[in-house]
Structure 1
Amino acid sequence: MKSVMIRALSYIGGLLIVSFGVTLTILAGLGAGAWDALNVGLAIQTRFSVGNWVIFVGIILIGVNALLTRTKPVVHSLLTILILGYFIDFWLIIVFNDMLFSGFMLQMIILLIAIVVIAFGASIYMQAEFALIPIDGFMFAIRDVLGVKLMVAKTIAELIALVAAFIVGGPIGIGTILVTFLIGPLIQFFFPRIEKRINWKAIQ
């Protein structure tokens, strides 16, 4: 029972932290990650919120992933995108009220903090080993279909999102580059350390 509780707390708490980090990248105003830039661009073009588009794009990707891998849709990933989408709207609309940071130095500091926060939160939520974010599922699907290495598949997925974000006028900038290249190494740094801590608590 204790291990189940720890997994649930890791899952919800990690997604809450990730959503906070994503929100900060958007509010920093220097460019968000490719997928987040796509969601922001779509929100600007429509009456739906950023969190709504996190959910809509996630649902589309669940279907695309199933088609690419010729398997059943990973339905439980819906829970992940619902939680993430609503958390992002909570931070953006309720807490920060769509404010934007100004001044390059402050924006850069907020952006770097946001990237660390996203990696930290992702390292926590992945401990639950419950449901991948559909974006990650898309990366694995590309790898399996094209027979390429995971990093190549990730690059292809990010480029697809980047082109789509550019088309819809999403916020692309130096932040987009930093998010793309720093998240992975930071997750590699945080994950084993958090894993040891959570495993230690699980056996208490």
Structure 2
Amino acid sequence: MTPKLTPVSLARRPVSRLIQLIVGLTLYGVSMAFMIRAGLGLDPWDVLHQGLANHVPLSFGTITALVGALVLLAWWPLRQRPGIGTVANILVIAVAVDGALAVLPAATSLWWQVPLMVLGVVLNGVATACYVGARLGPGPRDGLMTGLHARTGKSVRLVRTGIEVAVLATGWLLGGTVGVGTVLYALSIGPLTQFFLPWLAYRDGAAATTPPPAG
């Protein structure tokens, strides 16, 4: 059974959960850098980020933070409430991905690209389970999905698919990298997160079968 994932007050085990949140978000940024350097395709939001980076003189991490902040503004009419994890999501991932990109060279052959891509996807699944499992508030993009789901009554699957198709198409038109890595991510990130989540989610004594937010 998947543990309950609604936000829980920071007063409960604050130190360990904050550490888990920061570690998860840092690993998430590193996993993004792995996929970027692999050059075989990115997840939909990073296709958008990369596409924007092709047109504005800002670092990849800065762009992710700005997009996250803009998405957060969309929470207001959706009546979503950010948590400390929401703000940390914007800031920590931006710093982590820029730091990792600064030290990680681009892969120059398939012998290096494929393992780097696979490692990036798997690490992303671990990182997602880690930061979501801390239960300190969803990321901006997660909140947009759940907010639209609540306001429209449409299924999470339909809402998420609609958002990611729009984001992917926009990023591709801007020159973002779409490839086999994009497909691998789309097919595996849900199962990977689901697999790692039971070991990483904070439990407050209540269990539920609600699947984890993805992306």
Q: Structure 1 length normalisation: TM-score?
A: 0.87
Letter matched to residue 161 of structure 2:
T
Q: 1:124 to 1:147 in 2, by over 3 A?
A: same
Say whether 1:44 aligns with 2:50: no
The answer as to whether partners of 2:26 and 2:93 remain within 8 angstroms in 1 is yes
Letter matched to residue 90 of structure 1:
G
CA deviation profile, 1:39-94 (whole Å, cap 9, x unmatched) = 11111211001101111100110112323x1x26637423321111111111112x
Aligned-residue offset at 1:117: 0.2
Q: What is the 5 A alignment of 1:33-72?
A: 33-67=43-77, 69=78, 71=79
Residue 83 of structure 1 aligns with which residue? 92
The answer as to whether partners of 1:80 and 1:131 remain within 8 angstroms in 2 is no
Q: 1:109 to 1:90 in 2, by over 3 A?
A: same
Q: Secondary structure at the match of 2:143?
A: helix
Bigger proportion of residues as helix: 1
Aligned-residue offset at 1:27: 0.6
The answer as to whether partners of 1:37 and 1:171 remain within 8 angstroms in 2 is yes
Partner residue of 2:140 out of 134, 137, 161: 134
Letter matched to residue 88 of structure 1:
V
Residue 113 of structure 2 aligns with which residue? 107
Say whether 1:118 aligns with 2:124: yes
Partner residue of 2:39 out of 20, 29, 49: 29
- In structure 2, the gaps of 5 or more residues are 1-10, 204-215
Q: Distance in 2 between matches of 1:2 and 1:155?
A: 34
Q: Distance in 1 between matches of 2:28 and 2:126?
A: 8
The answer as to whether partners of 1:14 and 1:122 remain within 8 angstroms in 2 is yes
Identity between Structure 1 and Structure 2 (%) = 26
Q: Provide the aligned length of Structure 1 versus Structure 2.
A: 192
Partner residue of 1:153 out of 156, 159, 164: 159
How well do the aligned residues superpose, as a CA RMSD in angstroms? Answer: 1.9
The answer as to whether partners of 1:58 and 1:81 remain within 8 angstroms in 2 is yes
Q: Distance in 1 between matches of 2:63 and 2:138?
A: 17
Q: 1:166 to 1:21 in 2, by over 3 A?
A: same
The answer as to whether partners of 2:80 and 2:147 remain within 8 angstroms in 1 is no
Moved more, 173-182 or 140-149: 140-149
Aligned-residue offset at 1:151: 1.5
Aligned-residue offset at 1:190: 0.4
Q: 1:131 to 1:2 in 2, by over 3 A?
A: closer
Q: 1:61 to 1:73 in 2, by over 3 A?
A: farther
